[in-house]
Structure 1
């Protein structure tokens, strides 16, 4: 069985990190992230940017700038190659990035499940007449129906 953290590629990591700057390769708008996922994506992006800045990798820094300022998919593809090389050279760096990316993916999955299925809130009442149950569907995260 494949370890899910190892399965996250450099391309997927970059898509998560630079999600707010690019559109997905299928042409659809990038998925909206929850505030928690967005915070983790910013952390992931900062780790990548810091790594290339510390290593004085001018080509990677130019690619990062092109992605952030010009929304360039071509630059993102180049950056994928550079990140792949860095991850091969430093396995501990790669593990850190993969773990952070997996956290973002998990947050997104949990958020999507809440939105997709909604939540149920149930009230039980017993006025000496037996159990009465009322269930209301909460369609949006954060809705609270109290009756």
Structure 2
């Protein structure tokens, strides 16, 4: 059985790093929904950016992803990141660990939302007819 951290691919790491970047530009609501994942995603982006410092083509690809979060821009950067992760196992392990932390936070946030209204009466007020009495005697 393989370790789940080693299975996180370069494309998934880029999505985590730069998708949170795109969300954080959307305002406070987006920041609240992803919780601590934004700080981790920023750290992930910083690691990627630092790795490619001085590599003009990779820096151009990073800038393209930051300005135009598109599948084409991500695909170009993914090629560079894939090569860097294959060449530097320590770098790859660090990225995968941070990516796994982001995934864990996102799944905790999602599961917390599922139970937010657990135990409360769910009433569709628009469909109530007449003069109903809700609760009490």
TM norm structure 2: 0.75
Find the counterpart in structure 1 of residue 92 from structure 2: 94
For residues 117 and 4 of structure 2, the distance between their equivalents in structure 1, rounded to whole angstroms, comes to 28
Pairs within 5 Å for 1:40-55: 40-53=40-53
Structure with higher strand content: 1
For residues 99 and 34 of structure 2, the distance between their equivalents in structure 1, rounded to whole angstroms, comes to 14
Q: Which one has more relative contact order, counting CA pairs under 8 Å at least 6 apart? A: 2
Unmatched runs of 5 consecutive residues or more in structure 2? 24-29, 121-137
Deviating runs (4+, > 2 A) in structure 1? 20-23, 70-73, 117-120
For residues 37 and 117 of structure 2, the distance between their equivalents in structure 1, rounded to whole angstroms, comes to 21
Structure with higher helix content: 2
Unmatched runs of 5 consecutive residues or more in structure 1? 24-31, 121-135, 138-147
How many angstroms does 1:93 deviate by? Answer: 0.3
Which secondary structure state, in structure 1, belongs to the residue aligned with residue 7 of structure 2? coil
Aligned-residue RMSD, C-alpha: 2.3
How many angstroms does 1:116 deviate by? Answer: 1.2
How many angstroms does 1:117 deviate by? Answer: 2.2
User: Are the equivalent residues in 1 in contact too, given 2:21–2:38 (CA < 8 A)?
Assistant: no
TM norm structure 1: 0.70
Aligned length: 114
Pairs within 5 Å for 1:1-147: 1-20=1-20, 33-53=33-53, 56-118=54-116, 136-137=119-120
How many angstroms does 1:105 deviate by? Answer: 0.1
For residues 58 and 119 of structure 1, the distance between their equivalents in structure 2, rounded to whole angstroms, comes to 50
